[in-house]
Amino acid sequence: MDHSNVRSPEGAGDNASPTLSVTVPAWKQPGVISNHRRRVMKGRIVEVLAVLCILAVLLPLGDMIYMFAYRGLQVISIPKLTTITVGSASFVSGGLANAIAGTALLISLAAAITIPIGVLGGVYMSEFSNDSRLSEGLRFAADIMAGNSSIVLGYVGYLVFVLYFGWGYSAAAGALTLSILMFPYVFRTTELALRKVPASIREAAIALGSTKTTMINRLVLRFALPGILTGIILAVGIGLSETAPLLYTALFSNYLPSGALFHEPIGYLTYVVYVYSQLPSNGAHDLAYLSSFLLISAVLVINVVARVGLRKLSKV
């Protein structure tokens, strides 16, 4: 539209009089209003589309949670959780105790390896690294590892730990592979959490005569703790959900882990979903449903704790 009839800058006195005589402002003219309405309508349509997009994603998520909760709760019982799996192929019965215990052992071992390495590595990146090219390189390496396909990592675990080190299919091979998978998440989130600690806190500590080590141990780590914990918990969630890195390192076992770390295959929950869902027996399907339900519940708890609980803590 023509702007000249709205106002005429500085030259109000001279030949601009015909345009000034228009009393209806431009944005109130009939054509302009319908144009405006069309533009607002366009926005409404986009809003509706945006709502449809989120529904299109929440519907599958809701269906997934509902279906596995429904089927899982149909099957769940104390014996299913406390007895080991019996049989294989078309005759599977018993419970998931071996897989639950195996998952717990694998995750604890992997976390015990990866937390010290990841957290201390993150402390180095945030507090000690003066060489920006080195730290940039380390960040890059961690990002490539995080973007790596988990089955590729599973192959590396198989070739190195199972074959080359001769550990066989074992808890050690599985847990080490998982710890490599979890490492970049702990490493990067620790660095981020530490960098968010305000400079004023560090300066106050130094001004009071504290050494750098004391400052990090007493103050910086304490302030960054919720962030670091969030990273650890989510890394545990990632380790818990993985199947591919364990297929050829931990294999699977129907028996409870004896505590031997080498040369003894070990069970885990995701394998039950993968293999038992394809077996031709109701007993196997029941275990696959129950295992899916347990995994989803664990992920839900982890997400609530990490995102809701710890976020509150970090604001105190």
Partner 1 sequence: MVSALLGSSAFLFLFLTIVVLVIFSYPSFIVNGLGFFTSITWNPSLSGSVVTVNGIRSMSGASFGMLVFFSGTLLSSGLALLIGVPLSLGIAIFLSEVAPQRISNIMSFFVELLAGIPSIVFGFWGFLVLGPFLIHSVEPVMAKYLYFIPYFGGKVYSYGLPASGLILALMTVPIIASISRDAMAQTPIELREAGRALGLTDWEVTRKIVLPSARTAIAGSIVLGLGRALGETMAVVMVSESAVNILPKTFYYPINSIAAFMAQTLDSAFTDPTKMEIYALVELAVVLLLITTTVNVIARLLVRRGFITSAEHVVQV
By CB under 8 A, the residues from 17 to 76 that bind partner 1 are 27, 36, 39-40, 42-43, 46-47, 49-54, 56-58, 60-61, 63-64, 67-68
Strands 93-94 and 85-86: antiparallel
Taking residue 140's Cβ as centre, other Cβ atoms within 10 Å add up to 10
Residue 258 token pair: 């004896």
Counting contacts by CB under 8 A, is residue 256 touching partner 1? no
Cβ count near 45 (within 10 Å): 10
Where in 131-160 is the site for partner 1 (CB under 8 A)? 135, 137-156, 158-160
Cα 178 to Cα 240: distance, rounded to the nearest angstrom: 9
Which tokens in the block code for residue 284? 């196997």
Query: What's 83's DSSP letter?
Result: S
Interface pick for partner 1 out of 116, 198, 212, 217 (rule CB under 8 A): 116
Q: Which is nearer to partner 1, 17 or 25 (CB)?
A: 25
What's the one-letter identity of residue 16? A
Number of residues that bind partner 1 (CB under 8 A): 100
Over the window 182 to 221, marking each residue x when it contacts partner 1 by CB under 8 A and - when it does not, the resulting string is -xxx-xxx--xx--x-------------------------
- Cβ(96)–Cβ(81) under 8 Å? yes
| Per-residue interface string for the shown chain with partner 1, residues 217-236, x marking contact by CB under 8 A | ---------xx--xx--x--
Residue 240 touching partner 1 (CB under 8 A): yes
- Residue nearer to partner 1 on the CB measure, 95 or 118: 118
Q: Are 233 and 116 in contact (CB under 8 A)?
A: no
Report the nearest approach of partner 1 to the CB of residue 278 (Å). 9
